[in-house]
A and B are shown apart, each in its own frame.
Chain A
């Protein structure tokens, strides 16, 4: 299949493969027209109808599971909400079809938002279980609340809608309409990853912690993904209800949710085309596997395990990988890139970062025990100290991953002590990690774009400006030619540079570097020193921690030394490295010190 379609994530320079596109378009148009061309039975028509409406729910699974990396085991319930809205709305309450349809979408969205807000901050396992619970409650209510839902008997006589005065009573015409809606939704889901929201989703999926620290509102992103998924399920359900004109609670059971899940896994959770393919297979499988009789569902369960073990990217993923091996993708040509604009506006000469009596205790352990640090604008300030002295903890507190036990953190005069990491990023705090935290399945450019799309980033609005900014940042660190490579495939040293570029794209007022030299060889370290000096030359304020004295000495204006969570020295590199307490802390100490410590 087409390269461009298989990799929807490429925001710029994605090459179009015309034959592939044409083939897909022909297939897409031919599919719903088949019932017109051939004389098909109602049974076969129903299989078509099932495929098309289920595929919409499965597209929701692509968004929530494939893009945002969150599980949803209640997709059949959202599908059911849409179906019941149309069923009850048109039959029981006498509402217009489209009013009922809108009600269904609204109800699905609200259910998705509520479920998402209660559970998404807790992460995966909770979500799995809560969505199953929701699914069960939905079933219970639909079966038992007979006065309203008509219970297990279900709702018969749901009529297909009218469209521009045209009644879609012919099943084939209605199928045509549903297919059109499906294609629209496929286009939407295909387009989503290249948007700001879509990139944020994928960033959260690949590395939630890093996404938060560079400015992605992780909870909001996950909740929106979940709600989009719920709405897509609701649309599918609404159209399903009118397509079959009869619904009952059996159609929306937990097993159906598992079917949706299996469809997306089988087809490939990363791609809307994979989802459509997976849905068709899941609908057709029971027809093909009739010989298994009562063992069908058991084999089905086994199939789920086998897909997870042998085909983690689904059929679409396999096809794409094979295709790429046969035909290496051409790297898009990158034109001239403007120089990275630093443009850092801070308030006069006050410290960019100020820590006041900062403390962080873990139970009885005082990892950070009341430190005061002031980082002057335009300087490189290093925090050093032996292992376990509280360096990384300090950085995590500064950046908001930990809440301090006591003390204050001021960023350019603003108290950020109570803010979440993404809000701090929104105020201009950038960061890299000791153990590199990139979005592994995204390209270098996309990684850097996620960094650039933080709140309040002082640059022109629009995707073009963001791409330019990201390319400039990659150019600045010297790996522009790697822009379109998936970062997982980059060498370690380049990954570190991508991380720095990701922080730079956000116009940081303050850049936090967590052991930038860790794991680099001598040449790479030498280059890093050059890069840090250039950053200082552009007036960027850097607060870094590292073990490598040579590196710290070469790049720092000021050094603060920690030991056992307390500041033991501060000053220029020359002053600090000659300080007797510092030498004692690093190289061992006289008997008095040892006694005092014990």
Chain B
């Protein structure tokens, strides 16, 4: 009984963490589909989301060395989320113009390296403005959680699961049942044809970056009360989200969600069951990734990779 409850507890936590990976992974997939490039700063969108929340609910410590004064702000939590989302949208636009747009006609490698540069830039800019100390963030609801059958369900974990379901439903509706969603799909499938049909491709790609930035940012805001807000939080999440992207099937939306959940569950269960395994928690996701690459490189939902002549 206790064993079962403990396992269920771990499973629940795994699903919640997995949801975060799934949300970041969704952002990855959208950008891959629109631009054919993996955005290595995707995890930093989550980090920025977390710091945007700190900025609006607590303030900024500033940096005396650079003569940047700190300040304190106390915006109500919900308003802070809205403001943070706006900030993320603006970052999405800036990211498009600063990192992707100048290199859009080059092969994927320069763009990939450019997003790596962006990742270093974003992390260290935030590091210079806030100090390296990880920061706590309040939960969305001021309740601990509920206990069902010996399993404690943390309120923030429930919020994460609920939001993920909403986000996936919204994304499905948005892409399949709105005109702009169809235009985005057309852009991701064939940019030249979409352009010939009068779809503003540049705008569509901006929208994709905005959407991914906001989605990543929200993931960061949601996970912040659990993991603390830190400079490195994005990198860890991004690596696992990318593992999720590959395990699910490169560029597949369903794969992103399923892959994210699998990674979350695998690493939680492994850390719980393998003796002295906690320090290696982050390694299990990569081991799962290696195995998938060895035996089913196209992932769960992916098609076999092939190129046309």
Where the two chains meet, the residues of A that have a C-beta atom closer than 8 Å to any C-beta of B are 69, 71, 73, 118-119, 121-126, 128-130, 132-134, 136-137, 140-141, 143-144, 208-209, 254-255, 258, 261, 265, 293-298, 300-305, 308-309, 312, 392, 395-396, 399, 401-402, 433-434, 437, 514
Contact = CB atoms under 8 A, between A and B. Distances in A.
B121 to A, nearest CB: 3
B65 A136 contact: no
A526 B195 CA distance: 37
Interface string B73-103: 0000000000000000000000000110011
21 contacts: A122-B297, A125-B38, A125-B112, A126-B293, A129-B239, A132-B239, A133-B239, A133-B286, A137-B283, A141-B280, A294-B63, A294-B124, A294-B127, A296-B124, A297-B127, A301-B118, A304-B116, A305-B98, A308-B103, A392-B309, A401-B306
A332 to B, nearest CB: 31
Interface in B171-199: none
Given A295-B128, A301-B122, A308-B117, A69 B109 contact: yes
Contact of B113 (A136, A265, A296): A265
A499 B80 CA distance: 61
A297 B239 CA distance: 21
Contact of A124 (B103, B109, B118, B242): B109
A144 to B, nearest CB: 4
Contact of B293 (A118, A132, A208, A258): A118
Contacts of B122: 301
Contacts of B280: 140-141, 144
B130 to A, nearest CB: 11
A128 B37 CA distance: 11
B204 to A, nearest CB: 21
B307 interface: yes
A125 B309 CA distance: 21
Contacts of B305: 122-123
A9 to B, nearest CB: 19
Given A71-B112, A136-B286, A298 B66 contact: no
Interface in B275-309: 279-280, 282-283, 286, 289-290, 293-294, 297, 305-309
Given A129-B243, A133-B239, A144-B279, 7 more contacts: A69-B109, A118-B290, A130-B290, A295-B66, A295-B125, A304-B116, A401-B309
A126 B235 CA distance: 16
A309 B112 contact: no
Contacts of A71: 109, 112-113
A353 B243 CA distance: 44
A482 B269 CA distance: 64
Given A304-B117, A308-B110, A308-B114, A133 B289 contact: yes
Interface residues of B, number: 52
Interface in B206-254: 235, 239, 242-243, 246, 250
Given A137-B283, A392-B309, A293 B121 contact: no
A304 B117 CA distance: 5
A141 B282 CA distance: 11
A128 B286 contact: no
Interface in B122-178: 122-125, 127-128
B126 to A, nearest CB: 9
B119 interface: yes
Contacts of B120: 255, 258, 297-298, 300-301, 304
Contacts of A392: 309
Nearest to A255: B120
B293 A119 contact: yes
Given A123-B305, A129-B38, A133-B289, A312 B243 contact: no
B109 A305 contact: no
A128 B114 contact: no
A130 B243 CA distance: 9
B192 to A, nearest CB: 14
B36 to A, nearest CB: 9
B62 to A, nearest CB: 12
A301 B124 contact: yes
Nearest to B106: A312
B309 A303 contact: no
Contacts of B128: 294-295, 298
Nearest to A303: B117
B81 to A, nearest CB: 26
A305 B38 contact: no
Contact of B289 (A130, A208, A261, A437): A130
A295 B124 contact: yes
A129 B235 CA distance: 11
Given A295-B66, A305-B99, A258 B116 contact: yes
B279 A140 contact: yes
Nearest to A302: B121
Contacts of B32: 125
Contacts of B307: 208-209, 401
B45 interface: no
A295 B66 CA distance: 8
Contacts of A209: 307, 309
A473 B59 CA distance: 71
A298 B282 contact: no
Nearest to A209: B307
Contacts of B118: 301, 305
B117 A302 contact: yes
Nearest to B126: A298
A293 B99 CA distance: 24
A396 B32 CA distance: 27
A308 B120 CA distance: 14
B65 A305 contact: no
Interface centre among B40, B66, B121 (most CB of A within 10 A): B121
A294 B66 contact: yes
B113 A261 contact: yes
A255 to B, nearest CB: 8
A126 B109 contact: no
Given A128-B38, A302-B121, A396-B309, A137 B250 contact: no
A304 B98 CA distance: 12
